[in-house]
Amino acid sequence: MSTTKPDLIRDIERVDAGIVAQASEFAASILADVAGRRGTLSSRIAPLAPSMRIAGPALTVEVRPGDNLMIHAAMAIARPGDVLVIDGKGDETCALMGEIMVSQCKAIGLAGIVIYGSVRDTEAIREIGFPVYAVGANPNGPTKNIAGRVNWPVSVGGTSVQPGDLIVADADGVVVVEREKAASLLAAAAKKVQDETKRLTEIRTGGPLRPGWLDGALRKAGALAEGETL
């Protein structure tokens, strides 16, 4: 019996829905910080509107530049709440998705689309209100001829994404958190929000403007001598 994995994998282990719900309360920047300041996609991949937000498990798709056949396949097996994460190789010569496909994704109940490639019908997509992150727009349409892969590891905007990983995106961009690691970051994210809220309150209400850690960090970096202060 062959042990070769098929190009289209239907069943994956997704990050737990409860974890997704909790993670959706945090900014992408907060999760990126507590994840070790890593896991973010290239800033080329941006929302079509700043108000767009995404949180959900990754359903990964790899396509040949300019061909969207496997995106249609992925949409056919996607579950409500999934996030299509598409490695379109950063190609901007044509759109891989437009109003019709985005409308279908919304009807399926997907959480959003992250595409390392271009889209079209951007005004219509904004009116639909479905969250789409892409590197650009191009009116040219794609072909539907070339097989790719669904639910394999992909590289999107310089970051590796595994099927089922947690995707959180907002106006700042997209962060990917490994499925196995996501739950362990929630408490740290809540603590960071608490600390940042306290610091902002200090700044806005006449508290100390200089952060308390600054002198120590400068000494550690060699910019200040031991015992010296700013």
Annotated binding site for Mg(2+): 121
Residues 6+ apart with CB under 8 A from 30: 189, 192, 193, 196
Residues belonging to the binding site for substrate are: 98-101, 120
Q: How far apart are CA 214 and CA 47, in angstroms?
A: 34
Which residues on neighbouring strands pair with residue 168, listed in sequence order?
A: 55, 175
User: What CA–CA distance (Å, rounded) separates 158 from 190?
Assistant: 27
Please return the burial class of 189, using the count of CB atoms within 10 Å of its CB with bins 0-12, 13-18 and 19+.
Answer: buried
Render 152-165 in DSSP notation, one character per residue. S-EEETTEEE-TT-
Phi, psi dihedrals of residue 150, rounded to the nearest 5° = -125, 130
Q: Can you name the residues that pair with 199 across neighbouring β-strands?
A: none
Dihedral over Cα of 152, 36, 41, 15: its sign: positive
- The three-state secondary structure class of 113 is strand
Q: Which residues are annotated as a binding site?
A: 98-101, 120-121
Query: Which amino acid does the sequence have at 134?
Result: A
